[in-house]
Chain A
Amino acid sequence: MSTEDILNEDYKYGFYTDIETEEFPKGLNEDIIRMLSAKKEEPQWLLDYRLKAFRHWKTMPMPDWAKLEIPEIDFQDLYYYSAPKKKEDGPKSLDEVDPELLATFEKLGIPLAEQKRLTGVAMDVVFDSVSITTTWKEDLEKAGVIFCSISEAVKEYPDLVKKYLGTVVPYSDNFYAALNAAVFSDGSFAYIPKGVTCPMDLSTYFRINAKETGQFERTLIVADEGSYVNYLEGCTAPQRDENQLHAAIVEIVALDHSEVKYSTVQNWYAGNKEGKGGIYNFVTKRGNCLGVHSKISWTQVEAGSAITWKYPSCNLIGDHSQGAFYSVALTNNKMQADTGTKMVHIGKNTKSTIISKGISAEYSENNYRGLVKVMPGAHNARNYSQCDSMLVGDKCSANTFPYIEVKNNSATVEHEASTTKISEDQLFYLQSRGLDMEKSISLIVNGFCNEVFKTLPLEFSVEAVKLLEMKLENSVG
């Protein structure tokens, strides 16, 4: 493959699937929300919740505190609902799913067809505004695990959804959370019952396909006492010249002695070399460690999106609960990322770990913004944070904005950060051993991120390494 080919090929998920879709008119108002709610046959309480969120959203200004240059977004110029047209009562099995759709996911390398048993991952696939299918349902049902789209969950398990929806991220939390609460169209719901270790990894795959749509999905994961689940999330979008909006919410509730691991490989379309097009990724992710000894860990590999505004957080409420955040954020071309985490220590003997690795290349801007807060009652809270940045090229920037607020004297909080470039010595060493420049750099970068990759599930970790290699190609003189 010549250099030119690589250049042209750099976003291989950039295709668009021409599929018949059903869309609501453009714009956002109470009628659209009512239509959306009616379409999904939602109960009254959910419609009320949406309307409340919408009314609150109208009073909020767009946040401008992040170090990002966000062009004005016209929220009235977006479609808030777009779904592939389907038969009246929806697909019962994969055979009924539009073959065009299946081919799309085939192209993306998503094993929708269940014959690929080997992968052993249960997956909920979200295409624009709706969940297309959820695989492996029967096997999960045997274990008692509920895993379905959130619209289904609203119908089938209204009590569970009503009990937990919006408890972690209230609609009034922030601008994009309010917007999402008003118009969220679909997403995944997972409930792991008491004492169950989920027999396979759960996974959501998001795909934005339609033009000028915003994707607003909502994920809710509830881990009951003593349960364990490994959750994966992946995303792609077609290559377009306009920017598209993605404002999602992920809520996790972990009860006593439960553990949730949430891993994301985010590879939305990032725009072209001149920074044209790409996804605006404004996501609110938060977990509540409600129970004692509960654990939530976020692992993210952020390699896409024109603008990323994302802070997966943990509220450590239960005593002895633990939160962790492992992140690799890679920006190139003209991407902007403002990402990090919030760890709020509320219960006694709570622990949190933050490992963040930022790599910025070309003209991009990569910011780490994090908060560690120790409340007065959080005796013996412990936090360790490490934020390292690597700069590739002299036109990019890497910034670190940690906030540490400690209100309890028995807490121990440590924060370390460093900014460096790839050392000439290391490069020279590898090259003298016969590796070419690009391979050497990729090896060093992978070594730099190793701590985070280690925490990813195997298939993701392979994907992440590849993704970084691909993104760094040609970005190094």
Chain B
Amino acid sequence: MSVTLTEKSLGYVETASEFLKASSLIDRNQREKALELFKDIGLPTKKNENYKYTNLNKVFPEKLDLAKPSQVTSTSVLETPAKYTLVFDNGQWKEELSHLPKGLSLLPLTESSQPNKDKPLVSDTMEALNSSMVENKYLLKVEKNSQIPLVTLLHRIEADQSQVAMTSLHISVETGAEAEFFEVIQLEEERENTSITQTSFELAANAKAKHTKALLTKSSHIHVGKVKATLARDAHFTSLTFSVDGKMNRNNVEVFIEDTGAHASVNGLYTGRSSQHQDCFTTIHHNAAHTTSDQVFKGILDDEARGVFTGKIVIHRDAQQVDSNQLNKNLLLSKKAHVDTRPQIEVYADDVKCGHGATVGQINEEEVFYLESRGIPKEKAQKILCHAFAFEAIESCAHDELSTWLGNHLFELFEKYALEHLNVQ
């Protein structure tokens, strides 16, 4: 599909072409291919079905100006439940602040080390922009049969007004290995800037990976991120997207289940206040028989916030005996909050079980009443119920300490916001 590019997009294409011409990057060939893909669509507008509710062309900065790694000045490293942390400043690895566990190694990603060379490079226009322009691409390798405890991948973003920061990580989990990652996009200072991230997983046979992506950004930040995973035989992939702050977030999750016995669990939580915009877009491709997937996405929208969820399940021809489920639940807390949800199924095989459910509603009055009758004030009761609602999604990261940590973060955010709200009134 080729569309007429907007003026802004044309500018982006020009900047990217100049960047590629001037650079001596080894994977220039691939980057040029990615740029060709970006040229097809450019910055998506409302006319693009996949971005129908999220007009990136409108909110993106006029000119493409990349943030430099040296701009990050902070020396403190975020405390997380993980023992090991890898720090990336605007996408560049910071060796002196990082600790790698045994069995995990980090290399620059080159054309030859690129896993899955025959696969199409990217499937999304923003991912294509990232692939062509991002300065540093890394390959994280989890050694065969090793077991890696929780590792934090901390992206510290510091960019000037209207600047764009990009990160790119490729994680290869070798046969029989198990790994858990907690990826954090952390914004150092409150500025109107943008980040485009990309994290892709390659799971070999019997590999297991858990991935939690948390956006600890600020209220004027725009984030567009992609998490991609390819699953080989009997591989297990669990993903949680924790998107609770920022001006506009677009989280893409795409999973390719390529061989039998593999399972993917893709989950997420998005919350929005004031005029925040949260968009989650998932695609699960079942390319093989006897594969399973499940999804739980929860949204809590307050004030004039807008939540968007699109979940695609595609069961390709001959992928028989697939079992796939999806659930999207949304809570609207205020009159002007707004939710758009599109749970979609495409089935090309006949012997499958596939279901989805979507609900939009408010806090159940009877549940509030029950708690009130037990002596809990109404406001507190509502807060408890909101939390319980969110926790169903948070729990899916399957790591006790991490889910507590995320729960606490959410709680603090709610409290802080409630206070601000009081002050305003």
Q: A interface vs B, CB < 8 Å?
A: 65, 374, 376, 389, 391-421
Contact = CB atoms under 8 A, between A and B. Distances in A.
A405 B350 contact: no
A416 B357 contact: yes
Contact of B332 (A392, A396, A402, A406): A406
Interface in B322-362: 330, 332-362
Interface of A is mostly: strand
29 contacts: A65-B49, A376-B335, A391-B352, A392-B350, A393-B350, A395-B317, A396-B348, A397-B348, A398-B345, A399-B347, A400-B345, A400-B346, A401-B344, A402-B358, A404-B342, A405-B338, A406-B338, A409-B362, A412-B359, A412-B361, A413-B358, A414-B358, A415-B341, A415-B357, A415-B359, A416-B355, A416-B357, A417-B345, A419-B345
Contacts of A411: 332, 360-361
B347 A402 contact: no
B232 to A, nearest CB: 24
A390 to B, nearest CB: 9
Interface in B355-374: 355-362
A455 B355 CA distance: 25
B347 A391 contact: yes
A415 B361 CA distance: 12
Contact of A394 (B333, B340, B351, B362): B351
B340 A405 contact: yes
B376 to A, nearest CB: 22
Given A400-B345, A406-B338, A421 B357 contact: no
B347 A397 contact: yes
A362 to B, nearest CB: 11
Contact of B356 (A376, A405, A410, A417): A417
Interface of B is mostly: strand
B295 interface: no
A65 B356 CA distance: 22
Given A376-B336, A397-B348, 9 more contacts: A394-B350, A399-B344, A406-B332, A410-B362, A411-B360, A413-B359, A414-B358, A417-B345, A419-B353
A421 B358 contact: no
Contacts of B320: 394
A414 to B, nearest CB: 5
B392 interface: no
Nearest to B49: A65
Interface in B1-47: none
Contact of B360 (A393, A399, A406, A419): A406
Given A391-B347, A399-B345, A402-B342, A419 B354 contact: yes
A379 to B, nearest CB: 9
A393 B353 CA distance: 15
A413 B348 CA distance: 28
B401 interface: no
A266 B344 CA distance: 26
Contact of B318 (A376, A394, A405, A414): A394
Contacts of A399: 344-347
Given A394-B349, A409-B335, A418-B355, A402 B344 contact: yes
Contacts of A415: 341, 343, 356-359
A404 B350 contact: no
Nearest to A67: B346
Counting chain B CB atoms within 10 Å of each CB, the highest count among A374, A405, A410 belongs to A405
A389 B359 CA distance: 20
Nearest to B358: A415
A374 to B, nearest CB: 8
B287 to A, nearest CB: 15
B352 A419 contact: yes
Contacts of B359: 412-415
A276 to B, nearest CB: 23
A417 B332 contact: no
A388 to B, nearest CB: 9
A62 to B, nearest CB: 15
A409 B337 contact: yes
Given A410-B362, A411-B360, A413-B360, A391 B350 contact: yes
B4 to A, nearest CB: 13
A389 to B, nearest CB: 7
Nearest to B306: A407
A400 B340 contact: no
Nearest to B352: A419
B355 A417 contact: yes
A206 to B, nearest CB: 32
A420 B315 CA distance: 12
A278 to B, nearest CB: 22
Contacts of A406: 330, 332, 338-340, 360
A412 B337 CA distance: 14
A468 to B, nearest CB: 18
Given A411-B360, A413-B359, A415-B358, A421 B350 contact: yes
Nearest to A407: B338
Counting chain B CB atoms within 10 Å of each CB, the highest count among A65, A394, A395, A416 belongs to A394
Nearest to A365: B348
Contacts of A65: 49
Interface string B284-320: 0000000000000000000000000000000001101
A231 to B, nearest CB: 32
A193 to B, nearest CB: 40
Given A401-B344, A419-B347, A409 B332 contact: yes
A174 to B, nearest CB: 16
Contacts of A416: 355-357
A404 to B, nearest CB: 5
A400 B344 contact: yes
B356 A400 contact: yes
